[in-house]
Amino acid sequence: MSMHSRRAAWRPAAAATLTALALAGCAATPTGMQPVAAPVAGPSGGASTAATTTGGDSASGAGALAGTTQARPPITGSDPITLAFAGDVHFEKDKLRRVANDPEGMATLKPYLAAADITVVNLETAITSGGSPLPGKPFTFRAPASALTTLANAGVDVAGMANNHGADFGAKGLADTLKAQASAPLKVIGVGNNLDEANAPAEFVIDGVTIAILNVTPLQEETTDYHTAADDAPGVAALVKPYTSTAAKRFVAAVEDAARRYDVVVVFIHWGTEGERCPTPKQFEVEKMLSAAGADAIIGGHSHRVQAGGWSGNTYVNYGLGSFTWWLVPSDPATGVLTLTLDKDRVAAKRAAADPDAAASVFVKESWQAMVIGESGLPYVPGKDTVARLNAKRDSLLLCSKLSATP
């Protein structure tokens, strides 16, 4: 089955519908991609995302995941699996507000966002028309719930909201965001009614390969000061130094839990320093922590600059995707779409390994489509010479990023 066919089978079923099917015990699933059983609240020691009971098949019919006594689904097909990622998205000012209110407002980007099996973006805005801006913030962003439909129609499957603008409009804005999340036509992660919900991954099964995508922010700023999720409070998933808080320890535990339950674990992260092209010491620190917890890929942004991507040991790391849809054309408008290729044979080898942490990287290739943000606030692919220049600039950052260009 082609990648396009897999997405066509998946696209009509919203996350809420799949959860309802799973809870109802329905075994019928879209061809190629099957939903994993719905997330459940975990114990106080860490987030638990639902695999299955040990006595039978999962509610979705996909078979039990790792961490149970039953085998994972068999891996099928020869087509590679691809995951795509794009950077900071918001819908500020009139030109992008029109995009947010138009279901096909991002149609020009669909060829780049819909080609992969799973596509993830950083949604850097509260989803609300109310609330009050967080005090002390020079920039606060919000968008209507219709923006989630615009993203889904452009080919986006997952929107991460653990970032420094996801709760810009306070408790009211956060409540509206969570209401929109509950009925969204795509998966919204990194924010929730409590800590377990904020830490819960977006879950996919493609051709038997089980994939979890988690979202977190390590930034110390107003969002994490006022709206870090807790057991009894809504907010964002946070991993703020000195990493001894309940939120930080529970997120690392959630990654460890996902590494036991799924074949592939991706952490989509909002990190770094604005305007910087090379990683900070804190980013190196966080990367080592999450790699040790079992992340197969750590991908994110925040600097509004394209930074390097490559391999650190057996973990794929991307330090900066740049802005993506942005109302202010930045001094450096470079951006792009990152696509990672997942090797099924390596996934099978990791399953069979006595020490999965020592297995070779399951990601065998990265592809970067260089783009530039235009006056419309939307990115486009420039001419070949500009693309070549942008690619060379990105490649030159591998050294300061301490990454390898190949697995």
Does 51 score more than 80 pLDDT?
Answer: no
Mean pLDDT, range 300-304, rounded to an integer: 88
User: Alpha-carbon distance 111 to 368, whole Å?
Assistant: 14
Q: What is the pLDDT of residue 230?
A: 98
CA distances from 13 to 34, 108, 152, 174, 214 (A): 11, 23, 11, 25, 21
Rg (CA), the chain: 19
* Range in 57-61, 160-164, 232-236, 315-319 the model is least confident about: 57-61
Parallel, antiparallel or unpaired: strands 209-216 and 202-206: antiparallel
pLDDT digits (tens, 9 = 90+) for 329-346: 656 799 999 999 999 999
Mean pLDDT, range 299-328, rounded to an integer: 93
Does 392 score more than 60 pLDDT?
Answer: yes
At 356, phi and psi to the nearest 5? Answer: -55, -30
Q: What is the pLDDT of residue 304?
A: 86
Confidence of residue 2 (pLDDT cuts 50, 70, 90): very low
Q: Does domain 40-51+66-401 have CATH number 3.90.180.10?
A: no
Does 61 score more than 90 pLDDT?
Answer: no
Tell me the sheet residues that pair with 334.
372
Confidence of residue 13 (pLDDT cuts 50, 70, 90): very low
Query: Can you give the three-state secondary structure of the chain, one letter per residue?
Result: CCHHHHHHHHCCCCHHHHHHHHHCCCCCCCCCEECCCCCCCCCCCCCCCCCCCCCCCCCCCCCCCCCCCCCCCCCCCCCCEEEEEEEEECCCHHHHHHHHCCCCCCHHHHHHHCCCCEEEEEECCEECCCCCCCCCCCCCCEECCHHHHHHHHCCCCEEECCCCCCCCCHHHHHHHHHHHHHCCCCEEECEECCHHHHHCCEEEEECCEEEEEEEEECCCCHHHHHHECECCECEECECCCCCCCHHHHHHHHHHHHHHHHCCEEEEEEECCCCCCCCCCHHHHHHHHHHHHHCCCEEEEECCCCECCEEEECCEEEECCECEEECCCCCCCCEEEEEEEEECHHHHHHHHHCCCHHHCCCCEEEEEEEEEEECCCCCEECCCHHHHHHHHHHHHCCHHHHCCECCC
Mean pLDDT, range 318-339, rounded to an integer: 88
Maximal CA-CA distance, the chain: 59
Q: At what angle do helices 146-153 and 93-100 cross, to 10 degrees?
A: 70
Mean pLDDT, range 295-303, rounded to an integer: 94
User: In the predicted model, what is the mean pLDDT of the chain?
Assistant: 85
User: Alpha-carbon distance 17 to 184, whole Å?
Assistant: 10
Q: What is the pLDDT of residue 331?
A: 63
Mean pLDDT, range 244-270, rounded to an integer: 97
pLDDT digits (tens, 9 = 90+) for 118-176: 999 999 999 999 999 988 888 999 999 999 999 999 999 999 999 999 999 999 999 99
Q: What is the pLDDT of residue 327?
A: 82
Q: What is the pLDDT of residue 326?
A: 87
Percent share of the chain, pLDDT over 90: 75
Domain ranges of the chain: 40-51+66-401
Residues, the chain: 407
